[in-house]
Amino acid sequence: MTSKTSGQGLSLYDAARAKGVTFASEAAPRDRFIDANGMRFHYLEWGDPHSPPIVLLHGFAQTCHSWDFVALSLCDRYRVIALDQRGHGDSDWAEDGDYAPETQQGDIGAIVDGLGLKQFVLMGLSMGGRNSLTYAAANPDRVKALVIVDAGPQNLRTGSENIRRFVQQSDELDSVEEFVERVREYNPRRDPEQIRGSIIHNLKQLPNGRWTWKYDKRLRSPDRRIGSGPDTTERLWGFVESLRCPTLVVRGEISDIIAMDTAKEMQTRIPNATLVTVPGAGHLVMGDNPAGFERAVTEFLEGLR
């Protein structure tokens, strides 16, 4: 989301107000970079560096800016760190094409160590949600609390196919507006002005004047190992059952990725879990209903104090 109105849609602050997001001030993030696990990673840092830390992990084919509404609402109380994961946004792309889940776990560990984070809240959507729950299960001494957003050990086939079809379309278009229309067709719950304000962070202009997504094309390869199948599902359920920190499981009411039965089973298998369904939201929960997501997360975080 743009910080100013610049002909590219609503500013972050105007869009937040329009969506009912509450925030203390028109805070702006600071661009940061860190070298970790042999790569250079970009992240946005919001709020006072001395405040309790929250680390945010975006979903597949997204960037750290997918958390702008959330970060804006929390940064008066927390140090919010929204990461561009490898191959996404302004972080390095893997020269060897290694985007395996285990490698991404190594990234998180190295970044957390590099930032000197000890006890922090970890929050992730979709791919970032899986990375978050896996890291939290393996590092119970580091993660104070966990928020898993529309992610789990198994996905619904319908939603996975919808995402696959979306990302495998032509990735070069003549204008930003064409990408806005493509996103609107994929997710009609989003207002075009909101899309325009946020999509600019996930696009880059090529030397030929056309526009493309700001993530590694190899992430879209059908041969890329992303972790699926019966063995992976059972392994992920094992991580779920290993979680010991307070955990909020968030599902979009009309999600086509995580079934309600899966979310309820996660709540049952995680010893200290709360389940919240955000009304009117699909898979991209915090963008579809930012105010509803904010309320759920704020209540959970305040309960930790």
Q: How confident is the model at residue 81 (pLDDT cuts 50, 70, 90)?
A: very high
pLDDT tops 90 at residue 6: no
Is 275 contained in some domain?
yes
The total domain count for the chain is 1
pLDDT in tens, 34-50: 999 999 999 999 999 99
Which residue has better confidence, 9 or 44?
A: 44
DSSP states of the chain as a string?
--SS-SSSS--HHHHHHHTT---SS----EEEEEEETTEEEEEEEES-TTSPEEEEE--TT--GGGGHHHHHHHTTTSEEEEE--TTBTTSPPPTT----HHHHHHHHHHHHHHHT--SEEEEEETHHHHHHHHHHHH-TTTEEEEEEES--S---HHHHHHHHHHHTS-SEES-HHHHHHHHHHH-TTS-HHHHHHHHGGGEEE-TTS-EEESB-GGGG-TTS----SHHHHHHHHHHHHH--S-EEEEEETT-SSS-HHHHHHHHHHSTTEEEEEETT--SSHHHHSHHHHHHHHHHHHHTT-
Is 200 contained in some domain?
no
Is 199 contained in some domain?
no
Is 292 contained in some domain?
yes
CATH number (domain holding residue 241) = 3.40.50.1820
Is 91 contained in some domain?
yes
| Whether 57 contacts 83, CB under 8 Å | yes
Which domain range does residue 137 map to?
12-155+225-302
pLDDT, residue 305, reads 72
Is 206 contained in some domain?
no
Is 195 contained in some domain?
no
Is 118 contained in some domain?
yes
